[in-house]
Amino acid sequence: MKCSAHLRQVIGRRLNLIDPKRGALKLLWVVDFPLFEYDETEKRYVAIHHPFTAPHADEDIPLLATDPLRARAKAYDIVLNGTEIGGGSIRIHQQRSAVEGVHPARHYERGGPEAKFGFLLQALQYGAPPHGGIAFGLDRLTAILAGVDSIRDVIAFPKTQKGICLMTNAPSEVDQRQLKELHIKKAE
């Protein structure tokens, strides 16, 4: 994400697409994302957005068996002045058979989608309403509107680049009792 955002900004500046006075607000709604990408390491298709993103349209469903990389996702991003400020998707909500139509393209290991998502597949047998969502990055939006280059300038309690909170000193050490309770062994 950071790399693509930086690349967008560099290209925007070189092509004079960014208002240097930051007076103009240009919104862009991005759709027609691919549903899958191929993971060379795992030798399987993986969801680009998340495993329950719905295929874009009826014409994309046959592609799941023949050419999964051409199938589009019902996913979307909203971009303001070259910075992604939100993203989301419509989830698969049809009957179990529709979900199973998407999941074989992913080549799940160890029991297939039933082993990993059986609880959801079972719930879909009873029906679910169409549903989706969008998550806004209010910190990014605020930074753009405030005319600053870094979201750290507008976040009340910013973390460092290493993910450390200077105010609370988080993350802190976890005590052995907590680790034992969670069956976690600390790497030495």
**CATH code, domain carrying 147:** 3.30.930.10
Position 20 in a domain: yes
Position 188 in a domain: no
Lowest mean pLDDT among 35-39, 117-121, 183-187: 117-121
Tally the domains of the chain. Answer: 1
Position 183 in a domain: no
Position 166 in a domain: no
Cα(first)–Cα(last) distance of the chain, in Å? 32
Whether residue 88 has pLDDT greater than 90: yes
Percent of residues, the chain, with pLDDT higher than 90: 14
Residues 6+ away with beta carbon under 8 Å from 161: none
For the ranges 38-42, 58-62, 113-117, the one whose mean pLDDT is highest: 38-42
Structural domain that includes position 70: 2-159
Position 37 in a domain: yes
Q: With bands split at pLDDT 50, 70 and 90, how would you rate the model's confidence at 1? A: very low
Q: With bands split at pLDDT 50, 70 and 90, how would you rate the model's confidence at 134? A: very high
- Among residues 9, 10, 12, 50, the alpha carbon closest in space to that of 33 is found at 50
Residues 6+ away with beta carbon under 8 Å from 69: 34, 36, 37, 38, 45
Q: For residues 157 and 146, what is the distance between their CA atoms, to the nearest angstrom?
A: 17
Whether residue 42 has pLDDT greater than 90: no
Position 174 in a domain: no
Position 52 in a domain: yes
Position 75 in a domain: yes
